[in-house]
Amino acid sequence: MNAQTPPACPPQPKISVILPSIDGWKFAQSVQRYEELLSGIPHEIIGIHDAKSLAEGYNRGMKAAAGDILVFSHDDVLFLDPDFGKKIITRMETWDLLGFAGASRLIYPLWCAADWPYLHGAACHPYYDVSEAYLHFSVYGATDYPVVGNIEALDGLCLIARRAFASRIGFDAETFDGWHLYDLDFSFAAHLAGGKVGVCCDMPYIHATRSVHSSQNTLAGEDYTHYARRFFMKYEAHMHPEHIPAQHPFSFSCHFREHHALIAAWNEATLKRATLAMRRNREG
- Is residue 25 pLDDT above 80, yes or no? yes
- Can you give the pLDDT at residue 5? 66
- Percent of the chain predicted with pLDDT > 90: 77
- Is residue 2 pLDDT above 60, yes or no? no
- Can you give the pLDDT at residue 120? 97
Q: How far apart are CA 79 and CA 17, in angstroms?
A: 13
User: Would residue 207 count as lying in a domain?
Assistant: yes
Give pLDDT tens digits for 144-165. Answer: 999 999 999 999 999 999 999 9
User: Would residue 217 count as lying in a domain?
Assistant: yes
User: Would residue 1 count as lying in a domain?
Assistant: no
Q: Please provide the size of the chain in residues.
A: 284
Q: Compute the average pLDDT of residues 51-74.
A: 98
Which residues of the chain form beta strands (DSSP E)?
Answer: 15-20, 43-48, 69-73, 77-79, 97-99, 101-103, 119-128, 133-141, 147-148, 153-154, 158-162, 197-200, 205-207, 252-256
**Summary mean pLDDT of the chain:** 91
pTM, to two decimals: 0.92
Q: Nearest-CA neighbor of 76 among 39, 22, 121, 15?
A: 22
User: Would residue 9 count as lying in a domain?
Assistant: no
User: Would residue 203 count as lying in a domain?
Assistant: yes
- Percent of the chain predicted with pLDDT > 70: 90
User: Would residue 4 count as lying in a domain?
Assistant: no
User: Would residue 64 count as lying in a domain?
Assistant: yes
Question: In terms of residue numbers, what domain contains 74?
Answer: 15-283
The answer to which of 15-19, 178-182, 242-246 has the lowest mean pLDDT is 242-246
18 touches 62 (CB < 8 A): yes
Give pLDDT tens digits for 216-273. Answer: 445 557 889 999 999 999 998 998 876 667 666 678 899 999 999 999 999 999 999 9
- Can you give the pLDDT at residue 78? 97
- Can you give the pLDDT at residue 214? 47
Q: How far apart are CA 237 and CA 255, in angstroms?
A: 40
Q: How far apart are CA 134 and CA 132, in angstroms?
A: 7
The answer to which of 103-117, 134-148, 257-271 has the lowest mean pLDDT is 103-117
- Can you give the pLDDT at residue 26? 97
User: Would residue 5 count as lying in a domain?
Assistant: no
Identify which has the larger pLDDT, 81 or 241. Answer: 81
Task: Give the number of domains in the chain.
Answer: 1
- Can you give the pLDDT at residue 170? 98
- Can you give the pLDDT at residue 119? 95
- Can you give the pLDDT at residue 77? 97
Output the domain CATH number for residue 248: 3.90.550.10
- Can you give the pLDDT at residue 1? 47
